[in-house]
Structures are given as C-alpha cells and as structure tokens.
Chain A
Amino acid sequence: MELVTPEIGLVFWTTVSFLVLFFLLAKFAWKPIMGAIDDRERFIEDSLRKAEAAKDEMARLTNENEVLLKQARVERDLILHEAKKVKDQIIGDAKDAAHTEGARMIELARVEINNQKAIAMADVKNQVASLSLEIAEKVLKQQFADQAKQDELVSQLLKEVKL
C-alpha cells in the first residue's frame, strides 16, 4: 500500500522541480531550438523552391533559345531562298537581254545583208544594163554589117545571156 501512496513531500518537490525544469527548458532550450529548426526547415523549403524555379527558368531559357534558333534557321533559309531567286532572276534577265541583243544584232545583220544584197543586185543590174547596152551596140554594129547575121547574132547573144 505504501508503494502506491503518493507522498506529499515528493509530490511537492516534483511539482516545483518539474515546473522549474519546464520553464528553464521552455525559455532557454525549446524556444531557440524549435525556432532554429523551423528556420532551417523554412530555409530548406525555400531553397528547394528556388532551385525548382531556377530549373524552370533554365528550361524556359533553353526553350526560348531553341525557338530563337529555329526562327533564325527559318530566316536564314528564307534569305538564302530569296537570294537564289534573285540570282536566278538576274541570270534570267541577263539571258533575256542577251537574247534580245542577239536577236537585234541578227536582225541588224540581216538588214545589212539585205541592203548589201540590194546594192549588189543594183550593181548587177547596172552591169547587166551596160552589158546589154554593149551587146546591143555589138548587135547593132553586126546588123549594120550583115542583116541575117545580125539577127542570128542577136538571137544567139540573147540565148547566151543568162541572168
């Protein structure tokens, strides 16, 4: 029975001592310790969140870079394409110009040839005319000599003449 009967003295001292311990530890130990642990946990959580944010930011930047790169590539392709087009056009234009020039020169040549030909023809005609005149002179001379022969000569000459 004695074993399970609380003694007033010990109850008193336990109460006083425990309360003193409680206030001492609460003030000088638990408060700073819990505060420090909470602070550190908050700091860790914060750091993790920041790391996560940095990772996201990094991913975003990488993404952006890629997009930029893609855009640049597209733009480059476009520029190259355009340049090619311009080049082709220039070549085409040059060809056209050359063609036109060639055609014009050929035309000029033809006109010149025709002119020359006309001049030559005129010359030939003149010669034919003078030849004819000569022939006619000769025929006339012959005719004056022998009528029959003259006729024959004229016809013979005429036959010989080939224009």
Chain B
Amino acid sequence: MYKSSILKLKIFTLLRICAVFLTLNAFSLPVFSQETLKEGVEKKFEPSEVILEHIADSHSFHILGNTSVPLPVILYTDKGFEVFSAARFEHGKADYVGKYYTYRLINDKVNIVGANNTLLASATVLKLNSSLIDFSITRNVISMWMSILFLVIIFIAVSSAYKKRQGQAPKGLQSFMEPIILFVRDDIARPNIGYKYRRFMPLLLTIFFFIWINNLIGLVPFFPGGSNLTGNIAVTFVLALITLILVNLNGNKHYWKHIFVPADVPVWIWPLWWVIELVGIISRPFALMIRLFANITAGHIIVLSLISLIFVFKSLYIAPVSVAFVVFMDVLELLVAALQAFIFTLLTALFIGSAIEEAHH
C-alpha cells in the first residue's frame, strides 16, 4: 500500500477524475507519465510487474510525484569498492562506467556488463564468490535508518521522562509506551522465559518495537513510508538469525544434553536424533523469518492488487469498491503489524525459555 500512491497517480494521469476517490494521489503526478506521453501510446498495465517492483528494494527513494531521490550505490567488486550515485543510471536508461567495470541497472539491480553487452555479474543473488556484491544504501536501508532514528528519539525521550518524573505517574508519551513495555515484560518475557527474563528484556523490546514501527511505516503509502522493510527477506533473515544465535548461546547444560545425549533414547538412534534436533534448531528461526516476511509482503500485495483493479478494469466505477477494500485491508494490516511484532517477540521469548529451562525430571 505504501507504493500505491505512485501507482494510483500513474493511472490518474489517465483518469484524473479518480483523484476524487483516491485522496492520496492528490499531491502528485505519476512517475512514468512523461514516458507515456512521449511514446504517445498507453503502456499495457501489468499488475504483477508493478506490485513486485513496489515490494522489492530500490536504488532511489520516491518522494512526491516525479521527485525521487537517487541513493548512493556502493559496490564491492573483486577489484575494490566503487561508490557513485544511482542518478548516474538515469532510471536504468544509462550505463555507468566506473573505475573497474561498466555497470547497468536491470530491474533496479546493479549488473556488470562487459563488451558486447554481455552480463558478467549480477548482484541479485546471494553468491559469496560473485565478483559483485551490492552494499548500496537502498530505499530499505534509508527507511530502516529513519525508523531507528525515530525509535532512538522516542525512547530516549521516554527514558528521560522517567528520570525527570521520578516517583510520579507517567505522562504523555511515557504513559503511552509504558503499557506496551509492560506488555512485553509481563505477557511475553515473564511467562515464557521465567524468572531470568530480565536479561533478555532489552533484546525483546528492541525486536518488538523495531518490527512494529517498521510494519507501521510500511503501511504509509508515501514518504517517509513507501518501503517494505519487514516484508524483505533479508531483514527478517537477520532478525531470525539474531534469535537463532541468542537462543543457542544461552542454551544451558540441560538444553544441550537433550540434543546430544538424549535420555531414554537408544544409542544407535542418536545420529538420527542429532539430525532431527539440528533441523529443529534451524527450522524454528526459519519459520520466524518466513512468517514475518510472508505476512507483511502478502498484506502489501493484497492492497496493491486491490488498487491495481482500478487500472486493470480502467473503470472509474471500480474505484470506490477498491478504496473500500483497501481501507478495510489497511485497518487489518494495522492489526497485523502489531500482531506480527508480538508473535515474533513471543516466539523468540519461547525459544529462549526452552533453551534456559532447568531440568525438571
């Protein structure tokens, strides 16, 4: 839904009158309008293309109408680092000749092109031996940094309020945040981890608020929203990896004994047992990663699809229906945003709890 504004605006050039129904477009003009006008032919509308483009990461941050900020491209090649602005690509229409290679933007991904237009390397996939690794400050990175700044400002303000208003009832932002913090403590950490919960509170709170805030920012269709951070597999991968490492670093004797020297299991089954346990260790954070990614991405896809309906049907009359459904979905996504943050944190607490649980038999 974050990108829906661009999408909506694009069609609104064609169907300006739709603006009446979709307030979001009121402030901007479609990004691709010029293109369309130049060609003089209406491009065929491909919803899946548009949706996937908006779900994925980007090398520019769309602000308003035709304004989008090109972001820095940082490439690590086998010959060294290359740093330049994404503006050099001119929205994918130009190649950039760097110090070591010539780079081309294909589907918003940086590729190395050699002579005769042959693709030498691509930054799309996770290939560690690739001669090109893309460390660019992308839209998601910017969005994440903004959310981090936001979180730091909010919670430092809250913590200073605690210092200033010592011995008094919470007030303002502090009284808004305190029940949420207490919720994480009393309903997530304490029941799942037990009396040792205190040590894990900072991480659980950080994960909870990080996911929640970024889910919410993802719901905003225009700047400073417009990214799909928590619906990006790389982000959920890192969060799940942190959970995985944390759980296993804190595993106690009982936890490891259960994995490697299971009681009541014949010795000859142990190798099989180890394999199963290993799969268990990996699969739990893996499920966390997929769950958050899939939920947030799915929400975005549904909202974008509903908006796309207007352009697929090319009918003004479908707009109110679409908007009604989008509003419904947005409200649902508000719930999902909090729910997914809660579930991720809850399961992390649960895994920690099972790893530090004392032997009870």
A contact set with B: CB distance below 8 Å: 2-15, 17-18, 20-22, 24-26, 28-34, 36-37, 40, 43
Contacts and interface: CB of A to CB of B under 8 A. Distances in A.
A137 B181 CA distance: 153
B192 interface: no
Contact of A3 (B144, B237, B242, B297): B297
Contacts of A10: 57, 138, 140-141, 232, 234-235
Contacts of B206: 18, 21-22, 25-26, 30
Interface residues of B, number: 55
21 contacts: A3-B52, A5-B124, A7-B234, A9-B74, A9-B133, A10-B57, A13-B135, A13-B137, A14-B144, A18-B238, A25-B205, A25-B209, A28-B159, A29-B156, A30-B155, A30-B159, A33-B162, A33-B181, A34-B181, A36-B166, A37-B181
A67 B159 CA distance: 53
**Chain A residues touching B, majority SS:** helix
B152 A25 contact: yes
B159 A32 contact: yes
A76 B135 CA distance: 98
Contacts of B329: none
Contact of B210 (A8, A21, A29): A21
A80 B138 CA distance: 101
Interface string B207-248: 001100000000000000000000011110111011000000
Contacts of B155: 25, 28-30, 33
A24 B152 contact: yes
A107 B245 CA distance: 125
Nearest to B235: A14
Contacts of A4: 233, 293
Interface in B17-54: 52
Instruction: Please name the 7 residue pairs, one residue from A and one from B, whose CB atoms are nearest each other, closest first.
Output: A29-B155, A36-B162, A10-B234, A6-B234, A26-B202, A30-B202, A14-B238
A95 to B, nearest CB: 79
A17 B201 contact: no
A153 B52 CA distance: 187
